[in-house]
Structure 1
Amino acid sequence: MTTHSERWPAGTPAWADITVPSLDQACAFYGPLLGWEFEVGGPETGGYTVATVGGRRVVGLGESATDQPSDPQWCLYLATDDANATTTRVAAAGGRVVVSATPLPGMGTMAIAADPTGAVFGLWQSGRHTGWDVTGEPGTVAWTEVMSTDQPQALAFYQHVLELDVMDAGGDGFVYAVLRRGDLSVAGVGQTEANSAWTLYLEVADVDATIEAATGLGATVAAGAADSPYGRVARLRGPFGETFAIITPAWHP
């Protein structure tokens, strides 16, 4: 278990959230599944809700302002010391700025971008809100990765924009690399034939038991449980079609 109350280093995962048609339904699913409790924001935040583990922030959830159909997906936010400068680097490196740097008074500054292969991600410049403040226990974010239709292009993009190092972690027929800041592994970048997208890996105590609980709560299985060198993993689709992975890590860093 690691409690982290300071801002995350630039280029590292710092926060994640999702906007859904029904907060009540989302809380009824994720709460019992992952042991999350919820702090509901006031009218000034549009009811933006923070999921917590032991009173410590993990992720955020918002509710759609309209009844229009949507395709909710988890959004990962990467830390930055200067959101304006980083969005400029995104555009210069062939990415697309979806939402320009937007101050959230007292909390920080956010932006949304897409890499050159179409994977959407966020940027977070901390103010009072420094991101998630617990890792390394069930219910917390254990790993993040982007699977891309053009892995070399995506890898070069993130390495340049975030000023990170790269470690090859591929194998026979498996194209994958790890972005690193010094000795810290930041995120994975792999090759896929499907759409380019980021994925959150949420830690659970027992992957197989969590799959059973999730399907009982209305989820479907996108990829069944399998063992890897890093732990036992599976991919799920939540009640709104959103995808996420679960993992019981083989060890903690």
Structure 2
Amino acid sequence: MTESRGSAGPNGGMRRRTPGTPCWVSLMVRALPATEEFYGALFGWEFRPGPQQLGPYVRALLDGREVAGIGQLPPDRPLPVAWTPYLASDDADRTAETVRLCGGTVGVGPLDAADAGRMAIASDPSGAVFGIWQGGAHLGAAVTGVPGTPAWNELVTFETASVVKFYTTVFGYGQEPVVAADFDYITLDIDGRPVAGVHGMGHGLPRDRGPHWRTYFEVADTDATLHRIVELGGQVRKPAHDSDHGRVAAVADPEGARFWVIQSPH
């Protein structure tokens, strides 16, 4: 995993992200006010309205800087409540077309999100959903590497070989296998910098979910965060344990949206 603490560019703005860089995470929910209350209490987020092309939508801010988005699901669409990473693109239309040519599906867009940028929601050939983001006025998360911000994105799938070929073709990633017995894991790189992981789980993949992207959020204290999540009506899905990258746990918010929390080692 890697950390960065913001991407300040000229004119006080953000630098445009290299294509393929995870630049944003977004959650679509049924009860937007209750979800704002949960994440506000958990991560200290505040909220302000964002583009409304897909319905009511807010951007989450930490200390005044944007970190994530939360939108309201249409009541007539029984879509899953899940965190979705957005991968940067210089041309969302061209990326969407490449997704189709490589066996993926484009479910939404490409469409303009006001002046913020152009977006699409797609799925890879195994069915895992991700977003495509061509930044305009909004280039993505303004801060990472501190508690309450996305720390890592990881695709959980059946096996890595075929799906990694899809992502490297669409986004131009390099790849670095993690060498370990009985562990199918590949890190996706941009210019030698790790930006995301792909974990092949075979029959260990949760049957109720299928292939999907996981979002990890940085926290100051994993165990204290789990206690707070339960207090706020969420669930602990996998208890905290120590990993090579820090103390991690799998959790879910009150609507069932799953995410991971990680306390990086100091």
TM-score bucket (shorter structure): over 0.9
Alignment partner, residue 84 of structure 1 = 93
1-structure distance, mates of 2:170, 2:77? 34
2-structure distance, mates of 1:71, 1:208? 27
Alignment partner, residue 48 of structure 1 = 57
**Structure 1 residue aligned with 2:5, among 2, 5, 14?**
2
* One-letter amino acid matched to 1:73: A
Task: Write the mapping of 1:163-242 to structure 2, written as runs, cut at 5 A.
Answer: 163-192=172-201, 193-194=205-206, 195-242=210-257
The structure-2 alpha-carbon separation of the partners of 1:172 and 1:89, relative to structure 1 and needing over 3 Å to count, comes to same
Give the root-mean-square deviation of aligned CA atoms.
1.7
Q: Which moved more, 1:107-116 or 1:3-12?
A: 3-12
Q: How far is 1:210 from its partner?
A: 0.3
Superposed CA offset, 1:85-139 (max 9, x none)? 1111111111111123112231110011111111000000000011111011000
**Structure 2 residue aligned with 1:37, among 23, 39, 46?**
46
1-structure distance, mates of 2:50, 2:153? 26
Alignment partner of 2:25: what SS?
A: strand
Q: Which moved more, 1:50-59 or 1:187-196?
A: 187-196
Q: How far is 1:65 from its partner?
A: 3.2
Alignment partner of 1:232: what SS?
A: strand
1:71 and 1:240 in contact (8 A); partners too: no
Alignment partner, residue 259 of structure 2 = 244
1-structure distance, mates of 2:168, 2:53? 37
**Structure 2 residue aligned with 1:98, among 66, 91, 107?**
107
Alignment partner, residue 130 of structure 1 = 139
Q: How far is 1:75 from its partner?
A: 1.1
Q: Which runs of 5+ in 2 are unaligned?
A: 8-13
Q: Which moved more, 1:90-99 or 1:77-86?
A: 90-99
Superposed CA offset, 1:63-96 (max 9, x none)? 1232654421111100000111111111111111
The structure-2 alpha-carbon separation of the partners of 1:44 and 1:102, relative to structure 1 and needing over 3 Å to count, comes to closer
The structure-2 alpha-carbon separation of the partners of 1:89 and 1:168, relative to structure 1 and needing over 3 Å to count, comes to same
Q: How far is 1:196 from its partner?
A: 0.3
The structure-2 alpha-carbon separation of the partners of 1:68 and 1:155, relative to structure 1 and needing over 3 Å to count, comes to closer
**Structure 2 residue aligned with 1:23, among 29, 32, 37?**
32
Q: Does residue 58 of structure 1 match 2:67? A: yes
The structure-2 alpha-carbon separation of the partners of 1:44 and 1:151, relative to structure 1 and needing over 3 Å to count, comes to closer
Amino-acid identity (%): 39
Q: How far is 1:150 from its partner?
A: 2.7
1-structure distance, mates of 2:96, 2:51? 29
1-structure distance, mates of 2:154, 2:23? 13
Q: Does residue 159 of structure 1 match 2:130? A: no
**Structure 2 residue aligned with 1:72, among 60, 63, 81?**
81
Q: Which moved more, 1:37-46 or 1:176-185?
A: 37-46
2-structure distance, mates of 1:176, 1:151? 7
Aligned residues: 251
2:127 and 2:212 in contact (8 A); partners too: yes
Q: Which runs of 5+ in 1 are unaligned?
A: none
2-structure distance, mates of 1:75, 1:45? 15
Alignment partner of 2:239: what SS?
A: strand
Q: How far is 1:42 from its partner?
A: 8.0
